[in-house]
Structure 1
Amino acid sequence: MPSILSLDLGTSSVRAQVFGPEAEERTPARRDYAGENDPARIVDLVREVLKEATTESYDAAGTSSFGHSLLAIDAAGRPLTEILSWRNTRSADAADWLLRRLDNAAVHARTGCHIHTSYWPAKLAWLAQEQPEVFRSAKRFVSFCDYLYAQLLGREVATGISIASASGLVDLQTRTWDEELLDTLGLDAELLPEISAAPVEGWYPALLDGACSNFGAGCLTRERAALMVGTSGAIRTVHEAERPQPREGLFLHWVDDTRVVEGGSLSDGGNLHAWLEQTLKDTSGSLADRDPSSHGLTFLALLGGERSPGWHQHAKGAVQGLTFETTPLDLRQAALEGVAFRFAEVADLMPGIDEIVATGGALVEDPEWVQIMADVLGRPVTTSAVREASLRGAAVVVLERLGVEPGPAPLGPVVHPRADRADAFREAGERQRRLYEVVTSELTS
């Protein structure tokens, strides 16, 4: 039976493990690189974890990778830029430039992606405007994972449809680079990677980490969603689609020949949790006996800008209701609730969901946050017992390609919403919507 080397390139760390045919987890090799945008540095760390993880043989390899990243490469395959990630919002004005020239709704309908700083079109427009010499001299524009494969394998490689589709530059129906966007950007398709599902020397094309998380946690139908909070956050389903039709406010990307990943993403997640710990003096204390009426705050969790569902790239966070009596614990609670309320807005756009599985270390390692999610969503939340869903998911996909069906993803306890808190959370949700409307109306007026 085959064994699979799995690599998980996250926003702030890389992990690797060799999985057996049942895709059972062990402690993976890991290196952290929070805030790192130097491609060479991350390649070095990847080589370290691969060396540590491959003390045994393997038959094939798969990768889960953070999406939407962009690198300009010269003729020798060397980076001309740092990694331009989804967190890089310098292209907001370039995105506005595109919005004045293109029909955003039509672009979303074709590509499954909005015109936004997260995606390639805005990054490429920014690069052309702010670093024109780099833009003109680039031999290729690639995702970081494709650059990594080239470094590991010693040759240029194609990109997979999963990573390409998540760039915001692929037509969902033709599965090719979108012609209108290329024309608007003044970009030749020859400067973009070939799109292929073929493995190279046993390495299968990287997949979007969000999709891999669903595979790893066993969320593979329209009815079963993965609610993930890692560095950022997302709620997603993976399901089959013959002719995918993006829904308003949501992203939709191809995973492979027959399946798509659909959902909404938040820029505030575990990074907000870390910000609270770094910024506030002391947030210790239990939230178990508290609800939104305990603090009177409305925390609009848009510190990293907005992605789903409104995609306001200039949005900023806000807190309403501060007094001299407000405590660090109040702010922590309100912030965690604020993220949950953003998830609720996305979940309302996905009415077919019957079951929610919580994944991601920032969430499942904080039972109080899981309880808040259940209270805000008004439905049970099942915690995943998979520690590294994206890492496991990359292995599951390769096993599937090899004709092997691994065992089911293990699940943890189910957390139910507290009926006696329902009114307080409902009222707090209304305050969230009103504050959101005030903040975003200033951006559209």
Structure 2
Amino acid sequence: MTATAAGWRKDFTWGVSTSSYQIEGAHDEDGRKPSIWDTRCRIAGKIGGGDTGDVACDHYHRYPEDIALMAGLGLDAYRFSVAWPRVLPRGKGAPNEKGLAFYDRLIDALLEAGIEPWLCLYHWDLPQALHDIGGWAVRDSAGWFADYAALAARRYGDRVKKWITFNEFAVFTLFGYAIDWSAPGITDRDTHLKVIHNVNRAHGMGVDVIRSLVPGAAIGAVHNRQAVWPEKDTDADRAAAALLHEHWNLAFPDPQLLGCYPPILGEAIEPYVQGGDMAQICRPIDFFGLNHYGPIFAKEEPDSTWGFAWGSPPDDAPKSEIGWAVWPDAFRDELIDLCKTYKLPVVVTENGCGGHLDAPDASGKVHDAHRVKYLELYTAKMREAMEKGADVRGYFVWSLLDNFEWGSGYGPRFGLVHVDYATQKRTPKDSYAWYRSFITAAKAK
């Protein structure tokens, strides 16, 4: 049953998403050791405002309050990530019981509140200790990830049945190893190719581990997918857009689900592919996780690692407060195309709107009409895609809380809940009330 004029499918999942480094804080507490993001935050000039994730939203201590906020929304599910360096401080070897126990407490509290935990194993925070011995650039990294996945599956698989291997493969590999926008800040073509392939191998090994250890698990992976358009209507920018499209949209779902790399990238990556690798990568999964915000634009940049750079949307294009293109039709089209191409149910694991101006007014309320409008437009196009045959099973807003937004620090705010970082006070925004009402109405039909 898909969405019709009569309403949303009865088993549709409504949720919110977060990630460990962006909200947890407690960066050196209870045995946690640094990740590559802790390291990057200490390099001058790399993070907006000189910010760090040391405290973030202090979710490590305030998770009961945050779960109460989730319950107030009427959510079905919460997508979170485990911090690899919290449970395995050296990335491998002896686990950290105090770190493991934190996620026990979180999962148990979610279940008690009637909220299903969706556990993501990797949201960019590679243990620094593993990076120091080669990180994702060495083939051993796939085995390190599989061992970490096994630890989590054995510990939490009795209560967690929704599993995600990685979040946004293309973002952390492209920005971390080809464009110096993310940790670890390497810009080297060969290293980038090795990382792409080893991360794909790690995904496949992780799927097999979870499948073997968690009866009844539903396993997926989260891909960022946006249309890539040339900034200008020139041959050079069209070529840049075609190559960025392969890196951004195809480099991970194609080998994982179709068994092959896209053609341009495939030729470059072939020297790093060994016998049996593609079979190891292409493992059966249960859903396609989609993170989508709006289309992106490419331009030629001969001096860059791959010959392309990020372009700008047209001057007259609708944009969010942080300058991202707002193009709801592209969201509808992406959902339809994904279902046709990969023939899997799709769960929208991130969609949301960033702003700079969210702040309490004199009465203490936070009015974010721009976010409400965005969510109205995008959920309407999701519904339209479902009516046209797209098999969409869930929708998670990014994010529950304002949080640390990577290289942008604490400038952009994506949350349904405002966080005063000085006091950690949480204030639900107008978008929180909108989403609560939306979920209530969707379930009533």
TM-score of the superposed pair, with normalisation by structure 1: 0.32
TM-score of the superposed pair, with normalisation by structure 2: 0.32
The structure where helix makes up a greater share of residues is: 2
